Chain A
Amino acid sequence: MRLTSNQIQMINLAVHDLAGERATAWLYGSRLDDSRCGGDVDLLVRSSPAIGLMERARIKNRLELELGLPVDVLAAADEGVLSPFVRIAVAQGVRL
């Protein structure tokens, strides 16, 4: 995983601040691949209920500022049917 422990801490803090203490952050996508360079930080935020568009936007903005990297934020509910894309993210994702 191409994130430092400091970056992971920033992500968890931002997710808890903006999506609630019980929300969880998952990393998926190219940052999981140690052989690659650069790339967005693809995050899945899971909570109950799923966060909305504005919360996603605020998490994205805060993390882009703090990490200095492009961040994409996907949201999904803890319970219920997941879209195929979220299922893929969950299957390959690592909880931070």
Chain B
Amino acid sequence: MTPVKPSHELLLAQKTHLGNLLEAIQRCVYFLNASDASLAWPLTGDMLTLRRKDAHFFEALAAVNERFSKLQDTLGSAMRHSLLLSGEHADSFIKVLVIFEKLGVIVSIDDWQAARSARNLAAHDYEIDYQLVAQHFNALHGLRTDMWGVASRFVQYCAQDLHVHPSSTDFSNEFTAITAAGSV
């Protein structure tokens, strides 16, 4: 049987876990930006048709999809986890979003959920109509700066209100530059 940890030890573990999640968020932003920057936007159906067998090009597109999802999921996990430290209670994810909308981290719950559904729809579509594929990726490209805004405000909130920082500063400078500029 696992012994019950003293509360200060538990608190420390919770802070460390949040720090790890913050580092993961910064990493996601860095790599999403890198994949995004390797492509010429906006995409067009003609462009995709022309490059339909270009494995590197489609790998970059797949990476945008995967990293966008990873960023949003990691942000969601981190927001939920941070409530343990702030003392707020939320028994559903929508309540987590309500709290962070109130704090100004999320601009709009509707936009957050639309972004989530959009990337899920894009991931599950199996279109070979390149115009539609281009449209899907252009939508994700348009949403990335919203995600970066959320990421930046959340990292600031954790630092100021919870005194928790990313576990390492490996990606901090790039994260600050990317989220400040909107794009690097």
Asked if A and B bind, the verdict is yes
Known A-B contacts A54-B139, A56-B121, A57-B121; the reply to A83 vs B127 at CB < 8 A is yes
Main secondary structure of the interface of B (DSSP, over half): helix
Contact of A39 with B by CB under 8 A: no
Which residues of B91-128 have CB atoms within 8 Å of chain A's CB atoms? Answer: 110, 113-118, 121-122, 127
**Does B139 lie within 8 Å of A53, measured CB to CB?**
yes
* Cβ contact of B117, chosen from A52, A57, A83, cutoff 8 A: A57
Main secondary structure of the interface of A (DSSP, over half): helix
Inter-chain CB contacts under 8 Å: number: 34
Known A-B contacts A52-B135, A52-B139; the reply to A57 vs B118 at CB < 8 A is yes
Known A-B contacts A61-B110, A61-B113; the reply to A56 vs B127 at CB < 8 A is no
Distance from B106 Cβ to chain A, minimum over Cβ atoms (Å): 15
Assembled-state Cα–Cα distance A35/B139 (Å) = 39
**Does A60 lie within 8 Å of B110, measured CB to CB?**
no
Q: Which residues of A contact B116 (CB under 8 A)?
A: 57
- In the complex, per-residue mask of B121-160: 1 if CB is within 8 Å of any chain A CB, else 0: 1100001010000011001100000000000000000000
- Residue in chain B with minimal CB distance to A64: B117
Q: Which residues of B contact A83 (CB under 8 A)?
A: 127, 129
- In the complex, per-residue mask of A44-82: 1 if CB is within 8 Å of any chain B CB, else 0: 000000001110111011000000000001000000000
Question: In this complex, which of B114, B115, B139 has the most chain A Cβ atoms within 10 angstroms of its Cβ?
Answer: B114
Assembled-state Cα–Cα distance A52/B117 (Å) = 12
- Residue in chain A with minimal CB distance to B127: A83
| 12 A-B pairs in the complex with CB atoms less than 8 angstroms apart | A52-B139, A53-B140, A54-B114, A56-B118, A57-B114, A57-B115, A57-B116, A58-B110, A58-B114, A60-B121, A61-B114, A61-B117
Name A residues whose Cβ lies closer than 8 Å to a Cβ of B.
Answer: 52-54, 56-58, 60-61, 73, 83
Name B residues whose Cβ lies closer than 8 Å to a Cβ of A.
Answer: 110, 113-118, 121-122, 127, 129, 135-136, 139-140
